[in-house]
Each structure stands twice: as C-alpha cells, then as structure tokens.
Structure 1
C-alpha cells in the first residue's frame, strides 16, 4: 500500500487493484478511515474530528491528483506523491 502523502501525523495511502468507488485510506494515531475521492466523505472507519476536517479539505484541494493516482493504481503503475497540507 504506497504512501502518497503525509502531513500532521496523518498517513495517506492507496491500494493497488482496490474496489470502487475511487478512494484512499487515511490513518492517524491508530485510527483509520476510507475516504471517497469524488464526494470527499468517509466510506468506512472513523478519525478524530480535527484530523478528519484536515483530510477532507486536502481531498478537495487534490481531487484531480487523487483521481490520477486511482487510475495509475488500476494499471499497476507507480503512484505520484501528493503535496501535504501545510
């Protein structure tokens, strides 16, 4: 599961050959969630409120890059790093 970004202790990853809808995985301090890229919402899991707000804002800012990575993952190609939230 390649790490595509890391900020404020939040690790963002994407699996190769993962199921639809397009999504990424976020982990913070042992808490995990799956985030829908198009809708910028939690599909599964839970994160602390403050970190979730940061992740969802980051998702909206980088939706195009996240979708590009989703397509790369479907083809088994290396994923691009995405700038962290600063």
Structure 2
C-alpha cells in the first residue's frame, strides 16, 4: 500500500487494487491508530484517530479531494497513486 502523503506524524496510504471495496477511500495511520476516510464526503468510515489528528486528516482531505479522487481512479486500474502535498 503506497504512502501518498505524510504530515505531523500521520501517514496517508491508498491500496492499488481493482477490487478494493467501495466507497472511494484512503487509510490514515498515526502511531497505533488506523482510520479509513471516505474521499467523497470526507467522513470517517472505519477505525479511529485521536481528535486532533482526525481534524488534521479531514482538513487535508477537503483541500485535496480532487487529487484523492484521481488517485482512487489510478489505484482501481492497479496503477500507483501519485504523492499529494502534505498539510502545512
């Protein structure tokens, strides 16, 4: 699962597999925490992150929604997603 962005100790990854389950999403990791975030509506759909890190991930996802959707399309074709600018 390639890493597409990293910021403030948070790692953002996306699977590259045509049969990855809907809805379009990415995975966020922070220490022992893991979360799955829906790209279309920027909602937590599985797992958990500490509140502060979840807010940072959601803000980043809103800023990069189009890039995340483009990466999802690439990943569904088994192509590597591109890197996305970290939250600053």
Q: One fold, TM greater than 0.5?
A: yes
Work out the CA distance in 1 between the residues paired with 2:62 and 2:36.
Answer: 15
Work out the CA distance in 1 between the residues paired with 2:87 and 2:56.
Answer: 8
RMSD between superposed Cα atoms in Å: 0.5
Contact 2:26 2:37 in 1 (8 A): yes
Structure 2 gap ranges (5+): none
1:58 is aligned to 60
Which structure 1 residue ranges, 4+ long, deviate > 4 Å from structure 2?
none
Structure 1 gap ranges (5+): none
What TM-score do the two structures reach when normalised by structure 1? 0.98
Work out the CA distance in 1 between the residues paired with 2:4 and 2:80.
Answer: 10
Measured after TM superposition, the shift of residue 14 of structure 1 is: 0.3
Provide Cα deviations, 1:53-73, integer angstroms capped at 9, x if missing partner: 000000000000000000000
